[in-house]
Amino acid sequence: MRSYIPGTDVAGSRWRNPAANDTAAPLSRGEFLSLAAALLVTGCSGSDSKSAATALPADASRLDIVIARDKLIVGTYSTSPPLAFINPDGELAGFEIDLARAIAKDLLGDSEKVEFVVLNAAGRFPAVLTGKIDFGLCSTSITGDRAARVAFTPPYLDTGGTVIARRDAGLTHVRQLNDPRFTYALLNNPGSIERAEQELPRAKTIVLDNPAAILLATKVGRATAFNIDRAIAHQYVADNPDLMLLDTSGTVYNHVSGNAIFLKPGDFKWWLFLSTWMNELRGGSRYAQYRTLYLRWFDKEPPPQRFYDVSRY
Amino acid sequence: MFDVRFIERVLPALLDGLWITLAIAFLAFAIAVPWGLCAAILHRRGGLAAALTGGYVQLVRNTPVLIQLYLVYYGLPMAGIMLSAFACGVLVLAFQTGGYAAEIFRGSLASISVRQFEAASALGMAPFARWRHVILPQLFLRSLPALTNQAATIIKDTAQVGVIAVMDMNKVGQIWLEKSGNPFDVFIALAAVYLVVTTVVGLAGRLIERRLSFVQ
């Protein structure tokens, strides 16, 4: 239930930082560093997640802050079709964008009550750790290293590695790339780098910052092939007839990982809400909505709601 | 607050990237200084040369390094020219810094009295000797503080070459950030190394300035 704080104006002018005291205390060293890092990495374009909240306790859950603010602030990418991209109308669209809107609908009663902050790979974790965004929904796989620093919900998407090559390279299997004549582009993602070192030690590698950059590098001939999430790969191949998917059977690229929402650790209430919401979407009462979204953006059936036949039990 | 053990793990990797950072900065600066000097001397001649060098300076001052990097790295292959990412980084930073160096030299040249040119001519010095023995020593000394500043700037600007796949120190830091999800310690380590390097460059500049002060 939405909570309105007496003495505040919901429309905006008298909303204030929930962590701020009336006696304008100086910033601690930690707060200053956090603020500076967030400004440096994510720029000044996004809204301050705290600016619209009311006088909640300093240790208030992000769930309460979001409800009081009456708006969700979500970190996203803009170059990962069909997960999150700029559509021909110049608007953010995609599976992850729709997921964020669905959360806003359930939490705030309106799918439009969400502000997207477009991030790059380097900016996503600082943005969430400094409270610049409420959570990140930007094609982020769960890894052990990351889980030590940020909290993850259960995954919303099974994904994994694929390799896309220029059709004119004449390759069919990813192992054929393991040749110094070929250049292999990948994201600055430790998992991708480790897989390249393991499977393609002889190929030249170039490490770029976002999916659009590795696609462009391959299109202009700087790279022969590139590694990208499975969900994004199919869209790229569909849109670019000069590219093709390589067979990855028998290689480390044939793995499954989970893309999940990530948030600042230590906020159990917020994590519990998002995790419960995600569990219900992927395997519970909202599975039909998940299926609709999945069909819309991936044009195929999602994984089943249960791995067993429910009617037998 | 700081995870010292984490920073200890990150630092060796950053120092590996530092060599790439220093190599790019050194090469770009080594190209930019003579290039900027030529541009400043051409500008002094006036006419078409001055218009061209003025246009060049405006171009580099008013377009972001990032855009120049993208244009050179992705644009040249479309014209059939395939330079390495490292070479693209050096070229762009040299082109950029050359513009600023040209302005620095132009300002210093303007501060040298035209009578010195006339006096050198009256003594029968050839144009090259005039520049070599009279003008250039003063020009470099007057430009040195600003050039030192530019050297520090170019080291910091190398942090952008990671967007074209150069594994400089900042790029290595980004990979560690991705791996660990621990941005602040990575940023602190990066900032500390940049600070040390640029401070050393600043001190070296001051030392050279002091050593050369006898010219005046």
Residue A37 has pLDDT above 70, yes or no: no
What is the pLDDT, as a whole number, of residue A23?
Answer: 37
Report the Cα–Cα distance between both ends of chain A, in Å, rounded. Answer: 36
The mean per-residue pLDDT over the stretch B150-179 comes to: 91
Domain shared by A60 and A145, yes or no = yes
Across the interface, whether the CB atoms of B78 and A185 are under 8 A apart is answered: no
What is the pLDDT, as a whole number, of residue A189?
Answer: 78
Domain shared by A134 and A35, yes or no = yes
What is the pLDDT, as a whole number, of residue A43?
Answer: 41
**Domain limits of chain B?**
4-215
Q: Give percent of chain A with pLDDT exceeding 70.
A: 83
Task: Report the topology of domain B4-215.
Answer: MetI-like fold (1.10.3720)
* Distant-in-sequence, close-in-space partners of B201: CB < 8 Å, separation ≥ 6: B148, B151, B152, B155
Report the Cα–Cα distance between both ends of chain B, in Å, rounded. Answer: 51
**Which of A58 and A85 is assigned the larger pLDDT?**
A85
State the Cα–Cα distance between residues B168 and B146, nearest whole angstrom: 25
Across the interface, whether the CB atoms of B184 and A188 are under 8 A apart is answered: no
- Give the CATH number of the domain where residue A226 resides: 3.40.190.10
pLDDT band at A44 (very low <50, low <70, confident <90, very high): very low
What would the pLDDT profile of A274-291 be if each residue is shown by its tens digit? 999 999 999 999 999 999
Average pLDDT in chain A: 83
What is the pLDDT, as a whole number, of residue A268?
Answer: 96
Residue A39 has pLDDT above 70, yes or no: no
Residues of B at the A interface, defined by Cβ within 8 angstroms: 1, 73-74, 77-78, 82, 85, 162-165, 167, 171, 174-175, 177-184, 187-188
Structural domain tally of chain A? 2
- A280: domain range? 29-157+258-312
Contact at 8 Å (CB) between B104 and B181? no
**Which of A210 and B16 is assigned the larger pLDDT?**
B16
What is A5-69 written as a DSSP string?
A: PTT--TTSTT---TT--TT-PPPPHHHHHHHHHHHHHH-S-SPPTTTT--S--TT--HHHHHHHH
Domain shared by A144 and A273, yes or no = yes
The mean per-residue pLDDT over the stretch A102-117 comes to: 96
The mean per-residue pLDDT over the stretch A302-310 comes to: 87
**Which of B214 and B199 is assigned the larger pLDDT?**
B199
Place of tokens 């080291």: B155
**Which of A92 and B124 is assigned the larger pLDDT?**
A92
Domain shared by A264 and A146, yes or no = yes
Structural domain includes residue A224: yes
Contact at 8 Å (CB) between A82 and A235? yes
Crossing angle of helices A287-298 and A95-108, in 10° steps, is 150
Of B164, B174, B187, the CB nearest to A188: B174
Residue A273 has pLDDT above 80, yes or no: yes
What is the pLDDT, as a whole number, of residue A160?
Answer: 85
The mean per-residue pLDDT over the stretch B116-141 comes to: 86
Distance from CA of B193 to the nearest CA of A (A): 17
Across the interface, whether the CB atoms of B183 and A221 are under 8 A apart is answered: no
* Distant-in-sequence, close-in-space partners of B81: CB < 8 Å, separation ≥ 6: none
Residue A22 has pLDDT above 90, yes or no: no
Structural domain includes residue A13: no
In this structure, how many other beta carbons lie within 10 angstroms of the beta carbon of residue B204? Answer: 12
SS3 labels along chain B: CCCHHHHHHHHHHHHHHHHHHHHHHHHHHHHHHHHHHHHHHHHHHCHHHHHHHHHHHHHHHCCCHHHHHHHHHHHHHHCCCCCCHHHHHHHHHHHHHHHHHHHHHHHHHHHCCHHHHHHHHHCCCCHHHHHHHHHHHHHHHHHHHHHHHHHHHHHHHHHHHHHHCCCCHHHHHHHHHHHHCCHHHHHHHHHHHHHHHHHHHHHHHHHHHHHHHHHC
What would the pLDDT profile of B31-45 be if each residue is shown by its tens digit? 999 999 999 999 888
Q: CA-nearest residue of chain A to B70?
A: A213
Structural domain includes residue A235: yes
What is the pLDDT, as a whole number, of residue B128?
Answer: 84
pLDDT band at A73 (very low <50, low <70, confident <90, very high): very high
State the Cα–Cα distance between residues A281 and A260, nearest whole angstrom: 13
Domain shared by A138 and A278, yes or no = yes
Domain shared by A98 and A238, yes or no = no
pLDDT band at A54 (very low <50, low <70, confident <90, very high): low
Residue A114 sits at φ, ψ, to 5 deg, of -140, 135
Across the interface, whether the CB atoms of A146 and B163 are under 8 A apart is answered: no
Domain shared by A196 and A61, yes or no = no
What is the pLDDT, as a whole number, of residue A176?
Answer: 94
Average pLDDT in chain B: 90
Structural domain includes residue A178: yes
Residue A49 has pLDDT above 70, yes or no: no
Residue A47 has pLDDT above 50, yes or no: no
Domain shared by A269 and A281, yes or no = yes
Domain shared by A283 and A240, yes or no = no
What is the pLDDT, as a whole number, of residue B215?
Answer: 57
State the Cα–Cα distance between residues B78 and A219, nearest whole angstrom: 10
What is the pLDDT, as a whole number, of residue A194?
Answer: 87
What is the pLDDT, as a whole number, of residue B46?
Answer: 82
What is the pLDDT, as a whole number, of residue B137?
Answer: 87
A27 in B contact zone (CB under 8 Å): no
Domain shared by A208 and A127, yes or no = no
The mean per-residue pLDDT over the stretch B6-13 comes to: 88
Point out the domain boundary residue: A255, A277, A303: A255
Structural domain includes residue A215: yes
Across the interface, whether the CB atoms of A125 and B181 are under 8 A apart is answered: yes
What is the pLDDT, as a whole number, of residue A28?
Answer: 53
pLDDT band at B180 (very low <50, low <70, confident <90, very high): confident
